[in-house]
Amino acid sequence: MKFDAVIVGARCAGAAMALLLARAGARVLVVDKGVYGSDTVSTHALMRGAVLQLHQWGILPAIVAAGTPPVQSTTFSYRQQDVMVPIEPKYGVGALYAPRRTLLDRVLVDAARAHGAEFRYGVRIDDVIQDVGGRVCGIDAAVGGTRERIAAEIVIGADGLYSTIAQRVGAERVLEGRHATGVLYSYWEGLPVDGYYWKFQTDASIGIIPTNGGATCVFASIPAERFREEARGNAASAYRRLIRLASPSFDARLDEARQVEPVRGFGGHIGFLKRGAGPGWALVGDAGYFKDPLTAHGITDALRDARLLARAIVRGTAAAFADYETMRRDLSQRLFELTDEIASFAWSDSEVQVLHRAFSSEMSREVRALAALEPLPAYHRRPTGRLKATPMSAAHVA
């Protein structure tokens, strides 16, 4: 069988791509080396652009029904003051949410399956297949001891930071950061919090994110070059030490709470934006765009770019893919640059506040751009196997 799209990676970016394309009428296969419903390293926090997308796609009710607490405010804590920003209802979004990835990714996969997308787990991708003209036309995969060549009109790499697809197609970087942070995090019960809380200190920063099951994700970040030394040996001890460094008062609150999962970590990686599409291939999620997790915008990036890429694929023209590249870079570049500056930790209290205000302004611009996108069309297969776009109502695909 030849698929209209083969998506490598079934996390939030790949599953969202599958949902949008399958709902529009494409024959979609998603392959992933992992297992259905598993966890992954994540900051969880969804910004307004992500919640808007889930609302438009009809996914948000399942996230809410699973007990994900609504976030009604964000607090930025600095040396001299705390700044609380209420989440005002806009574009149908009345609150933010931070679902565990075991919930978010699974809900997106289930929705994509309900619209006909096929998912196969335990699949390792070794290479892409190219035709005589160099256009990507499928993947070379291994399932257990069996090899399989799967043909596709387009192969989409949603396979994360170390993407095999990005490597095989030689996707060049068009932006590259200079700074990276390492992070340690865990989950706590009995730790009541009101909204997102971000504390920024030049020694260390912490984030507090309410998530499912009455748990709160608490993370501590420092520059990557310090992280390698600080986290060496006992990660649990380093975790509390960094929290205490950023906020002794909050560290004292943890003594009254209960840690319910082991400490996990991420050593950091320099951010990048890669070329997003080429002949027969495209990238979405961390495969094509990664910025430091300190600004907690990664899931929002993934869902946004899934929407933009689906729009290009359904249109199917060179101009549509050029528009994907242009709009993706326009909405990414300033957010990327600001994140890189924040990740440097080389700022004063007043300077980081200026960076945060600029970041907030860019997120507002991003939301306006997403809200203004027209509904996706549907496409139907002609006898030749090519696809023809036809209008589809906003009630089906937003």
The predicted pLDDT at position 389 comes to 34
Cβ(233)–Cβ(244) under 8 Å?
A: no
The predicted pLDDT at position 360 comes to 97
306 and 209 in a common domain: no
107 and 26 in a common domain: yes
77 within some domain: no
Last residue of a domain, one of 228, 248, 266: 266
The predicted pLDDT at position 143 comes to 86
| Cα–Cα nearest to 349, from 26, 56, 81, 1 | 81
The predicted pLDDT at position 394 comes to 29
Cβ(7)–Cβ(141) under 8 Å?
A: no
191 and 170 in a common domain: no
Structural domains in the chain (count): 2
276 and 261 in a common domain: no
The predicted pLDDT at position 2 comes to 87
Domain hosting residue 128, numbered range: 2-68+90-177+269-390
Which two three-digit tokens encode residue 64? 């809410």
226 and 157 in a common domain: no
Name the 3-class secondary structure at 321: helix
The predicted pLDDT at position 43 comes to 86
Residue with tokens 């009630």: 395
Phi, psi for 269 (deg, rounded to 5): -155, 135
| Cα–Cα nearest to 166, from 270, 267, 13, 278 | 278
The predicted pLDDT at position 92 comes to 85
DSSP string, 137-149: EEEEEEETTEEEE
Per-residue pLDDT of 232-270, as tens digits, reads 778 899 999 999 999 999 999 999 999 999 999 999 999
Instruction: Round to whole Å and give the CA distance between 153 and 5.
Output: 6
The predicted pLDDT at position 393 comes to 29
Which two three-digit tokens encode residue 87? 């989440």
Separation of first and last alpha carbons in the chain: 29
252 and 297 in a common domain: no
379 within some domain: yes
Last residue of a domain, one of 266, 288, 308: 266
The predicted pLDDT at position 170 comes to 97
328 within some domain: yes
What is the pLDDT of the chain when averaged over all its residues? 92
The predicted pLDDT at position 368 comes to 96
DSSP H helical ranges for the chain: 12-24, 48-56, 60-65, 101-114, 164-169, 224-230, 235-246, 248-254, 298-315, 318-343, 349-371
CA distance to 3, 56, 155, 307, 389, per residue, from 26 (Å): 8, 19, 13, 15, 11
Please list the ranges in the chain whose pLDDT falls under 70. Answer: 1, 379-398
Which two three-digit tokens encode residue 55? 């609302």
241 and 188 in a common domain: yes
84 within some domain: no
81 within some domain: no
83 within some domain: no
Cβ(110)–Cβ(104) under 8 Å?
A: no
75 within some domain: no
200 and 53 in a common domain: no
125 within some domain: yes
| Cα–Cα nearest to 13, from 239, 277, 304, 254 | 304
105 and 171 in a common domain: yes
Specify the pTM.
0.93
Side-chain half-sphere of 238: how many Cα atoms within 13 Å?
Answer: 21
Q: Are strands 73-77 and 281-283 parallel, antiparallel or unpaired?
A: unpaired
Last residue of a domain, one of 232, 266, 300: 266
CA distance to 83, 99, 311, 338, 349, per residue, from 80 (Å): 10, 31, 45, 22, 8
Domain CATH for 211: 3.30.9.100
Residue with tokens 């399942």: 62
251 and 125 in a common domain: no
| Cα–Cα nearest to 200, from 233, 226, 222 | 222
The predicted pLDDT at position 153 comes to 94
Task: Give the Cβ contact number of residue 190 at 10 Å.
Answer: 14
282 and 349 in a common domain: yes
114 and 27 in a common domain: yes
Domain CATH for 344: 3.50.50.60
DSSP H helical ranges for 115-178: 164-169
